[in-house]
Amino acid sequence: MGGGLTGCVQLMRTAVELLYNYAQSLQDEVTAGKLTQAEAKSLFHQRGRRMSFNGGQGYPVVYNQDTSLVVNGANQQLEGKITGTKDSNGVLIADAILKAADQAAPGGVTSYLYPRPGQTEPVRKTVFARKFAPWNATISYGLYVDDIDADVRALTLELAAIGVGLMLLMATLSWLIARDVLGALDRQKNRMQQISEGAIDKPVEETDRGDEIGRMAETLEVFRQTALTARTPQLVWSIALAAFAVATSHVYYYLQQPYLRALGVPLGAFGVVFAATKVVTAIVASRAAQVDAALGARGATSVMTVVGAVGLAAMSVASGIAGAPIVLLRGILDGLWMPLTNVWVNRLVPSDLRATLLSLQSLVARLTLAAVIALAGVGTDRIGLKATLATFALAAIVVGFGLVASSPRLPARSRVIAE
Protein backbone atom coordinates (compact mmCIF):
# COMPACT_ATOMS: atom_id res chain seq x y z
CA MET A 1 0.00 0.00 0.00
CA GLY A 2 3.03 2.29 0.49
CA GLY A 3 3.22 3.38 -3.16
CA GLY A 4 -0.54 4.06 -3.27
CA LEU A 5 -0.51 6.04 0.01
CA THR A 6 2.45 8.14 -1.13
CA GLY A 7 0.70 8.93 -4.40
CA CYS A 8 -2.52 9.90 -2.60
CA VAL A 9 -0.62 12.16 -0.18
CA GLN A 10 0.82 13.87 -3.24
CA LEU A 11 -2.70 14.16 -4.66
CA MET A 12 -3.95 15.75 -1.43
CA ARG A 13 -0.92 18.08 -1.38
CA THR A 14 -1.75 19.20 -4.93
CA ALA A 15 -5.39 19.86 -3.98
CA VAL A 16 -4.29 21.89 -0.93
CA GLU A 17 -1.87 23.88 -3.10
CA LEU A 18 -4.65 24.71 -5.59
CA LEU A 19 -6.94 25.98 -2.83
CA TYR A 20 -4.04 27.77 -1.12
CA ASN A 21 -3.08 29.53 -4.34
CA TYR A 22 -6.70 30.55 -4.88
CA ALA A 23 -6.78 32.10 -1.40
CA GLN A 24 -3.50 33.88 -2.13
CA SER A 25 -4.86 35.32 -5.39
CA LEU A 26 -7.89 36.68 -3.49
CA GLN A 27 -5.62 38.15 -0.83
CA ASP A 28 -3.60 39.84 -3.57
CA GLU A 29 -6.85 41.43 -4.78
CA VAL A 30 -7.43 42.68 -1.24
CA THR A 31 -3.93 44.15 -1.08
CA ALA A 32 -4.50 45.88 -4.41
CA GLY A 33 -7.71 47.40 -3.08
CA LYS A 34 -9.95 45.56 -5.55
CA LEU A 35 -11.72 43.49 -2.90
CA THR A 36 -12.47 43.82 0.77
CA GLN A 37 -11.31 41.10 3.14
CA ALA A 38 -14.92 40.02 3.67
CA GLU A 39 -15.55 39.80 -0.09
CA ALA A 40 -12.40 37.74 -0.60
CA LYS A 41 -13.36 35.27 2.12
CA SER A 42 -16.90 35.03 0.75
CA LEU A 43 -15.57 34.14 -2.74
CA PHE A 44 -13.16 31.64 -1.19
CA HIS A 45 -16.01 30.07 0.78
CA GLN A 46 -18.25 29.73 -2.27
CA ARG A 47 -15.68 28.18 -4.59
CA GLY A 48 -13.62 26.29 -2.05
CA ARG A 49 -16.43 24.02 -0.89
CA ARG A 50 -16.82 22.74 -4.49
CA MET A 51 -13.14 21.83 -5.01
CA SER A 52 -13.30 18.07 -4.39
CA PHE A 53 -11.77 15.09 -6.23
CA ASN A 54 -12.06 11.29 -6.52
CA GLY A 55 -15.84 11.48 -6.82
CA GLY A 56 -16.10 13.51 -3.63
CA GLN A 57 -13.84 11.23 -1.54
CA GLY A 58 -11.36 14.07 -1.20
CA TYR A 59 -13.05 17.29 -0.06
CA PRO A 60 -11.73 20.52 1.51
CA VAL A 61 -11.90 21.31 5.22
CA VAL A 62 -10.68 24.77 6.28
CA TYR A 63 -10.32 25.83 9.93
CA ASN A 64 -9.84 29.15 11.65
CA GLN A 65 -7.20 29.27 14.34
CA ASP A 66 -9.90 28.79 17.00
CA THR A 67 -10.85 25.49 15.20
CA SER A 68 -14.14 26.89 13.89
CA LEU A 69 -14.91 25.60 10.42
CA VAL A 70 -14.61 28.00 7.47
CA VAL A 71 -15.31 25.38 4.79
CA ASN A 72 -16.49 21.78 5.03
CA GLY A 73 -16.98 20.31 1.57
CA ALA A 74 -18.84 17.27 2.94
CA ASN A 75 -21.23 18.93 5.41
CA GLN A 76 -21.86 22.64 4.92
CA GLN A 77 -24.10 22.76 8.01
CA LEU A 78 -20.97 22.54 10.17
CA GLU A 79 -19.42 25.69 8.69
CA GLY A 80 -18.98 28.48 11.23
CA LYS A 81 -19.07 26.03 14.16
CA ILE A 82 -16.50 24.57 16.54
CA THR A 83 -17.42 20.91 16.55
CA GLY A 84 -14.89 19.65 19.07
CA THR A 85 -15.00 16.28 17.32
CA LYS A 86 -12.58 13.66 18.66
CA ASP A 87 -11.26 10.55 16.97
CA SER A 88 -11.56 7.03 18.37
CA ASN A 89 -8.45 7.60 20.54
CA GLY A 90 -9.85 10.80 22.08
CA VAL A 91 -7.67 13.16 20.00
CA LEU A 92 -9.29 16.44 18.90
CA ILE A 93 -9.33 16.17 15.11
CA ALA A 94 -9.15 19.91 14.51
CA ASP A 95 -6.12 20.26 16.82
CA ALA A 96 -4.33 17.40 15.04
CA ILE A 97 -4.90 19.03 11.64
CA LEU A 98 -3.73 22.46 12.85
CA LYS A 99 -0.57 20.87 14.34
CA ALA A 100 0.12 19.08 11.04
CA ALA A 101 -0.11 22.41 9.20
CA ASP A 102 2.40 23.94 11.63
CA GLN A 103 4.99 21.20 10.98
CA ALA A 104 6.52 23.14 8.09
CA ALA A 105 5.69 26.06 5.82
CA PRO A 106 4.72 23.77 2.89
CA GLY A 107 2.38 21.80 5.18
CA GLY A 108 2.31 18.42 6.86
CA VAL A 109 0.52 15.07 7.16
CA THR A 110 -1.48 13.56 10.00
CA SER A 111 -3.95 10.71 10.42
CA TYR A 112 -6.70 9.69 12.80
CA LEU A 113 -9.37 7.03 13.32
CA TYR A 114 -12.95 8.12 12.66
CA PRO A 115 -16.08 6.41 11.30
CA ARG A 116 -17.35 7.25 7.85
CA PRO A 117 -20.57 9.30 7.72
CA GLY A 118 -23.46 6.99 8.65
CA GLN A 119 -21.15 4.25 9.99
CA THR A 120 -19.84 3.33 13.43
CA GLU A 121 -16.61 1.42 12.76
CA PRO A 122 -13.52 3.68 12.97
CA VAL A 123 -11.45 3.88 9.79
CA ARG A 124 -8.03 5.51 9.44
CA LYS A 125 -8.08 8.77 7.55
CA THR A 126 -4.95 10.55 6.29
CA VAL A 127 -4.95 14.35 5.97
CA PHE A 128 -2.58 16.89 4.39
CA ALA A 129 -2.82 20.41 5.81
CA ARG A 130 -1.17 23.79 5.18
CA LYS A 131 -1.56 27.08 7.01
CA PHE A 132 -2.60 30.22 5.11
CA ALA A 133 -1.03 32.90 7.30
CA PRO A 134 -2.78 36.04 5.91
CA TRP A 135 -6.15 34.72 7.15
CA ASN A 136 -4.74 32.65 10.01
CA ALA A 137 -6.58 29.68 8.48
CA THR A 138 -5.60 26.05 7.87
CA ILE A 139 -6.48 24.38 4.54
CA SER A 140 -6.71 20.58 4.48
CA TYR A 141 -7.80 17.61 2.39
CA GLY A 142 -8.20 14.02 3.62
CA LEU A 143 -8.79 10.52 2.30
CA TYR A 144 -9.81 7.33 4.08
CA VAL A 145 -6.99 4.79 3.86
CA ASP A 146 -9.29 1.94 2.85
CA ASP A 147 -10.40 4.05 -0.15
CA ILE A 148 -6.75 4.31 -1.09
CA ASP A 149 -6.30 0.54 -0.66
CA ALA A 150 -9.38 -0.14 -2.80
CA ASP A 151 -8.09 2.15 -5.55
CA VAL A 152 -4.67 0.51 -5.46
CA ARG A 153 -6.15 -2.99 -5.58
CA ALA A 154 -8.36 -2.08 -8.52
CA LEU A 155 -5.43 -0.48 -10.32
CA THR A 156 -3.21 -3.49 -9.56
CA LEU A 157 -5.76 -5.89 -11.05
CA GLU A 158 -6.21 -3.62 -14.05
CA LEU A 159 -2.48 -3.36 -14.66
CA ALA A 160 -2.01 -7.11 -14.11
CA ALA A 161 -4.60 -7.80 -16.80
CA ILE A 162 -2.93 -5.28 -19.09
CA GLY A 163 0.48 -6.76 -18.35
CA VAL A 164 -0.57 -10.33 -19.10
CA GLY A 165 -2.42 -9.19 -22.20
CA LEU A 166 0.55 -7.20 -23.42
CA MET A 167 2.97 -10.06 -22.85
CA LEU A 168 0.67 -12.37 -24.79
CA LEU A 169 0.31 -9.72 -27.47
CA MET A 170 4.07 -9.40 -27.72
CA ALA A 171 4.43 -13.17 -27.99
CA THR A 172 1.81 -13.17 -30.76
CA LEU A 173 3.54 -10.24 -32.46
CA SER A 174 6.84 -12.10 -32.33
CA TRP A 175 5.18 -15.12 -33.94
CA LEU A 176 3.54 -12.98 -36.66
CA ILE A 177 6.78 -11.21 -37.50
CA ALA A 178 8.62 -14.52 -37.69
CA ARG A 179 5.84 -16.01 -39.84
CA ASP A 180 5.97 -13.05 -42.25
CA VAL A 181 9.70 -13.32 -42.68
CA LEU A 182 9.67 -17.07 -43.04
CA GLY A 183 6.77 -16.83 -45.52
CA ALA A 184 8.95 -14.64 -47.72
CA LEU A 185 11.67 -17.24 -47.52
CA ASP A 186 9.24 -19.93 -48.61
CA ARG A 187 8.34 -17.87 -51.69
CA GLN A 188 12.01 -17.68 -52.58
CA LYS A 189 12.24 -21.46 -52.28
CA ASN A 190 9.62 -21.75 -54.99
CA ARG A 191 11.66 -19.45 -57.21
CA MET A 192 14.75 -21.54 -56.52
CA GLN A 193 12.84 -24.61 -57.70
CA GLN A 194 11.95 -22.81 -60.91
CA ILE A 195 15.59 -21.89 -61.44
CA SER A 196 16.65 -25.49 -60.84
CA GLU A 197 14.26 -26.48 -63.63
CA GLY A 198 15.84 -24.00 -66.03
CA ALA A 199 13.58 -20.94 -65.66
CA ILE A 200 16.45 -18.45 -65.30
CA ASP A 201 15.11 -15.48 -67.28
CA LYS A 202 12.81 -14.10 -64.57
CA PRO A 203 14.65 -12.00 -61.96
CA VAL A 204 14.66 -13.09 -58.36
CA GLU A 205 11.94 -11.14 -56.54
CA GLU A 206 12.14 -9.22 -53.24
CA THR A 207 15.76 -8.21 -53.64
CA ASP A 208 14.62 -4.60 -53.08
CA ARG A 209 13.39 -5.27 -49.54
CA GLY A 210 15.22 -3.10 -47.06
CA ASP A 211 15.65 -5.87 -44.50
CA GLU A 212 17.58 -9.04 -43.92
CA ILE A 213 15.40 -10.97 -46.38
CA GLY A 214 16.28 -8.56 -49.19
CA ARG A 215 19.98 -9.16 -48.63
CA MET A 216 19.49 -12.92 -48.42
CA ALA A 217 17.73 -12.84 -51.80
CA GLU A 218 21.10 -12.21 -53.45
CA THR A 219 22.05 -15.86 -53.04
CA LEU A 220 19.68 -18.58 -54.20
CA GLU A 221 21.63 -21.24 -52.40
CA VAL A 222 20.95 -19.39 -49.13
CA PHE A 223 17.27 -19.39 -50.00
CA ARG A 224 17.35 -23.13 -50.70
CA GLN A 225 18.39 -23.76 -47.11
CA THR A 226 16.20 -21.01 -45.64
CA ALA A 227 13.07 -22.27 -47.39
CA LEU A 228 13.40 -25.60 -45.64
CA THR A 229 14.00 -23.84 -42.33
CA ALA A 230 10.88 -21.74 -42.92
CA ARG A 231 8.72 -24.83 -42.62
CA THR A 232 9.87 -25.65 -39.10
CA PRO A 233 7.96 -24.27 -36.10
CA GLN A 234 11.11 -24.73 -34.01
CA LEU A 235 12.62 -21.51 -35.35
CA VAL A 236 9.50 -19.47 -34.51
CA TRP A 237 9.55 -20.94 -30.99
CA SER A 238 13.25 -20.11 -30.59
CA ILE A 239 12.65 -16.47 -31.58
CA ALA A 240 9.68 -16.18 -29.20
CA LEU A 241 11.76 -17.71 -26.37
CA ALA A 242 14.54 -15.17 -26.95
CA ALA A 243 11.98 -12.33 -26.83
CA PHE A 244 10.59 -13.67 -23.53
CA ALA A 245 14.04 -14.11 -21.98
CA VAL A 246 15.30 -10.67 -23.06
CA ALA A 247 12.16 -8.97 -21.74
CA THR A 248 12.21 -10.83 -18.39
CA SER A 249 15.94 -10.23 -17.89
CA HIS A 250 15.58 -6.52 -18.57
CA VAL A 251 12.67 -6.19 -16.16
CA TYR A 252 15.22 -7.30 -13.54
CA TYR A 253 17.79 -4.89 -14.99
CA TYR A 254 15.60 -1.80 -15.06
CA LEU A 255 13.92 -2.38 -11.70
CA GLN A 256 16.88 -3.67 -9.69
CA GLN A 257 18.17 -0.21 -8.72
CA PRO A 258 14.85 1.08 -7.32
CA TYR A 259 14.40 -2.37 -5.70
CA LEU A 260 17.79 -2.19 -3.94
CA ARG A 261 17.11 1.40 -2.93
CA ALA A 262 13.76 0.38 -1.44
CA LEU A 263 15.48 -2.39 0.56
CA GLY A 264 17.83 0.16 2.08
CA VAL A 265 20.98 -1.21 0.39
CA PRO A 266 23.72 1.46 0.51
CA LEU A 267 24.44 3.02 -2.86
CA GLY A 268 28.06 1.99 -2.62
CA ALA A 269 27.04 -1.67 -2.44
CA PHE A 270 25.08 -1.56 -5.71
CA GLY A 271 28.20 -2.26 -7.72
CA VAL A 272 28.97 -5.30 -5.59
CA VAL A 273 25.50 -6.73 -6.27
CA PHE A 274 25.78 -6.06 -10.03
CA ALA A 275 29.24 -7.62 -10.18
CA ALA A 276 28.02 -10.67 -8.29
CA THR A 277 25.20 -11.02 -10.84
CA LYS A 278 27.74 -11.09 -13.66
CA VAL A 279 29.75 -13.73 -11.82
CA VAL A 280 26.64 -15.89 -11.49
CA THR A 281 25.93 -15.38 -15.22
CA ALA A 282 29.44 -16.53 -16.11
CA ILE A 283 29.28 -19.60 -13.87
CA VAL A 284 25.86 -20.67 -15.16
CA ALA A 285 26.84 -20.01 -18.79
CA SER A 286 29.83 -22.31 -18.36
CA ARG A 287 27.40 -25.08 -17.34
CA ALA A 288 24.70 -24.29 -19.93
CA ALA A 289 25.76 -27.16 -22.20
CA GLN A 290 25.40 -29.64 -19.34
CA VAL A 291 21.93 -28.24 -18.53
CA ASP A 292 20.93 -28.64 -22.19
CA ALA A 293 22.24 -32.19 -22.32
CA ALA A 294 20.53 -33.17 -19.07
CA LEU A 295 17.17 -31.40 -19.44
CA GLY A 296 16.67 -30.70 -23.12
CA ALA A 297 14.86 -27.67 -24.55
CA ARG A 298 11.70 -28.14 -22.48
CA GLY A 299 13.51 -28.67 -19.19
CA ALA A 300 15.91 -25.76 -19.73
CA THR A 301 13.01 -23.51 -20.71
CA SER A 302 11.18 -24.56 -17.55
CA VAL A 303 14.21 -23.58 -15.46
CA MET A 304 14.36 -20.15 -17.15
CA THR A 305 10.65 -19.61 -16.58
CA VAL A 306 10.76 -20.63 -12.92
CA VAL A 307 13.87 -18.55 -12.21
CA GLY A 308 12.35 -15.48 -13.87
CA ALA A 309 8.92 -15.76 -12.24
CA VAL A 310 10.10 -16.81 -8.77
CA GLY A 311 12.75 -14.09 -8.70
CA LEU A 312 10.32 -11.32 -9.61
CA ALA A 313 7.72 -12.66 -7.18
CA ALA A 314 10.28 -12.82 -4.38
CA MET A 315 11.39 -9.24 -5.10
CA SER A 316 7.76 -8.11 -4.83
CA VAL A 317 7.54 -9.27 -1.19
CA ALA A 318 11.13 -8.93 0.02
CA SER A 319 12.08 -6.38 2.66
CA GLY A 320 15.36 -5.42 4.25
CA ILE A 321 18.90 -5.76 2.95
CA ALA A 322 18.61 -9.57 3.13
CA GLY A 323 16.46 -9.36 -0.01
CA ALA A 324 19.35 -8.08 -2.15
CA PRO A 325 20.66 -11.55 -3.19
CA ILE A 326 17.38 -12.21 -5.03
CA VAL A 327 18.75 -10.01 -7.82
CA LEU A 328 21.35 -12.71 -8.46
CA LEU A 329 18.63 -14.90 -10.00
CA ARG A 330 18.91 -12.71 -13.07
CA GLY A 331 22.41 -14.12 -13.49
CA ILE A 332 20.96 -17.65 -13.72
CA LEU A 333 18.44 -16.53 -16.36
CA ASP A 334 21.08 -14.72 -18.44
CA GLY A 335 23.55 -17.56 -18.04
CA LEU A 336 21.06 -19.97 -19.61
CA TRP A 337 19.15 -18.09 -22.31
CA MET A 338 22.06 -16.31 -23.97
CA PRO A 339 24.12 -19.41 -24.83
CA LEU A 340 21.26 -21.89 -25.21
CA THR A 341 19.13 -19.92 -27.67
CA ASN A 342 22.20 -19.46 -29.85
CA VAL A 343 23.01 -23.17 -29.62
CA TRP A 344 19.45 -24.12 -30.55
CA VAL A 345 19.44 -21.76 -33.54
CA ASN A 346 22.74 -23.30 -34.64
CA ARG A 347 21.05 -26.72 -34.69
CA LEU A 348 18.09 -25.41 -36.67
CA VAL A 349 19.68 -23.10 -39.22
CA PRO A 350 22.30 -23.70 -41.92
CA SER A 351 25.65 -22.07 -41.26
CA ASP A 352 25.22 -19.54 -44.10
CA LEU A 353 22.10 -18.12 -42.44
CA ARG A 354 22.92 -18.24 -38.75
CA ALA A 355 24.19 -14.67 -38.37
CA THR A 356 21.22 -13.29 -40.29
CA LEU A 357 18.61 -15.20 -38.32
CA LEU A 358 20.29 -14.38 -35.02
CA SER A 359 19.93 -10.73 -36.04
CA LEU A 360 16.24 -11.36 -36.75
CA GLN A 361 15.90 -12.99 -33.35
CA SER A 362 17.51 -9.92 -31.75
CA LEU A 363 15.16 -7.56 -33.62
CA VAL A 364 12.03 -9.36 -32.42
CA ALA A 365 13.40 -9.48 -28.86
CA ARG A 366 14.10 -5.73 -28.87
CA LEU A 367 10.61 -4.92 -30.13
CA THR A 368 9.17 -6.95 -27.25
CA LEU A 369 11.59 -5.33 -24.80
CA ALA A 370 10.56 -1.80 -25.82
CA ALA A 371 6.92 -2.46 -24.96
CA VAL A 372 7.68 -4.30 -21.71
CA ILE A 373 10.05 -1.61 -20.36
CA ALA A 374 7.48 1.08 -21.15
CA LEU A 375 4.93 -0.95 -19.17
CA ALA A 376 7.40 -1.31 -16.27
CA GLY A 377 7.78 2.46 -16.12
CA VAL A 378 4.03 3.06 -16.12
CA GLY A 379 3.44 0.35 -13.52
CA THR A 380 6.12 1.65 -11.13
CA ASP A 381 4.70 5.16 -11.36
CA ARG A 382 1.03 4.21 -10.95
CA ILE A 383 0.92 1.25 -8.55
CA GLY A 384 4.39 1.16 -7.02
CA LEU A 385 7.45 -1.06 -7.38
CA LYS A 386 6.24 -4.17 -5.51
CA ALA A 387 2.92 -4.41 -7.36
CA THR A 388 4.73 -3.98 -10.69
CA LEU A 389 7.17 -6.79 -9.84
CA ALA A 390 4.26 -9.05 -8.86
CA THR A 391 2.48 -8.26 -12.14
CA PHE A 392 5.53 -9.19 -14.20
CA ALA A 393 6.01 -12.37 -12.17
CA LEU A 394 2.48 -13.43 -13.11
CA ALA A 395 3.06 -12.54 -16.76
CA ALA A 396 6.33 -14.52 -16.76
CA ILE A 397 4.49 -17.59 -15.48
CA VAL A 398 1.77 -17.35 -18.14
CA VAL A 399 4.03 -16.70 -21.13
CA GLY A 400 6.92 -18.85 -19.91
CA PHE A 401 4.85 -21.98 -19.38
CA GLY A 402 3.17 -21.35 -22.72
CA LEU A 403 6.62 -21.63 -24.25
CA VAL A 404 7.33 -24.73 -22.17
CA ALA A 405 4.14 -26.38 -23.38
CA SER A 406 4.96 -25.62 -27.03
CA SER A 407 8.67 -26.43 -26.86
CA PRO A 408 9.74 -28.63 -29.81
CA ARG A 409 12.03 -31.61 -29.94
CA LEU A 410 15.28 -30.16 -31.24
CA PRO A 411 17.67 -32.07 -33.49
CA ALA A 412 20.80 -33.63 -32.06
CA ARG A 413 23.88 -31.44 -31.72
CA SER A 414 25.50 -32.76 -34.83
CA ARG A 415 22.45 -32.25 -37.08
CA VAL A 416 21.00 -29.15 -38.67
CA ILE A 417 17.47 -29.12 -40.04
CA ALA A 418 17.45 -28.38 -43.79
CA GLU A 419 20.70 -30.27 -44.31
> What is the CATH T-level fold of the domain 150-405, as seen in this structure?
Growth Hormone; Chain: A; (1.20.1250)
182 CB-near residues (< 8 Å, 6+ apart): 229, 230, 235, 236
Query: What's residue 146's pLDDT?
Result: 66
Compute the average pLDDT of residues 312-319.
87
Task: Give the Cα-Cα-Cα angle 389, 394, 397 (nearest 5 degrees).
Answer: 125
CATH number of 2-135: 3.30.450.20
Which has more pLDDT, 237 or 282?
A: 282
Query: What's residue 189's pLDDT?
Result: 67
* Phi, psi of 127, deg, nearest 5: -130, 140
pLDDT at 279 over 90: yes
How confident is the model over 162-201, as pLDDT tens digits?
877 788 888 788 777 777 767 776 776 676 666 565 554 5
How confident is the model over 195-224, as pLDDT tens digits?
565 554 566 667 777 676 666 666 655 544
Compute the average pLDDT of residues 318-324.
84
Which has more pLDDT, 269 or 180?
A: 269
Task: Give the Cα-Cα-Cα angle 390, 394, 400 (nearest 5 degrees).
Answer: 135
Compute the average pLDDT of residues 297-317.
86
Compute the average pLDDT of residues 306-321.
86
Query: What's residue 275's pLDDT?
Result: 92
Q: What percent of the chain has pLDDT over 70?
A: 79
159 CB-near residues (< 8 Å, 6+ apart): 378, 379, 382, 383, 387, 388, 391
Contact 189, 224 (CB under 8 A): yes
Compute the average pLDDT of residues 390-406.
87
Task: Give the Cα-Cα-Cα angle 391, 327, 255 (nearest 5 degrees).
Answer: 50
The overall average pLDDT reported for the chain is 80
Give the residue extent of every domain in the chain. Answer: 2-135, 150-405
How confident is the model over 32-66, as pLDDT tens digits?
999 999 999 999 988 888 888 777 777 899 999 99
Q: What percent of the chain has pLDDT over 90?
A: 16
Compute the average pLDDT of residues 95-107.
90
Compute the average pLDDT of residues 265-278.
89
**pTM of the full structure:** 0.44
Query: What's residue 28's pLDDT?
Result: 93
User: Averaging pLDDT over each range in 15-29, 167-181, 346-360, which range is the top one?
Assistant: 15-29
Compute the average pLDDT of residues 361-379.
82
How do 108-115 and 122-132 pair as beta strands? antiparallel
| Range 253-259 contact pairs with CB under 8 angstroms and sequence separation of 24 or more | 253/330, 254/373, 254/376, 255/315, 255/376, 255/380, 255/385, 255/388, 255/389, 256/327, 256/330, 258/380, 258/385, 259/315, 259/323, 259/327, 259/385, 259/389
Query: What's residue 359's pLDDT?
Result: 76
Report the range of poorest mean pLDDT among 184-188, 287-291, 305-309. 184-188
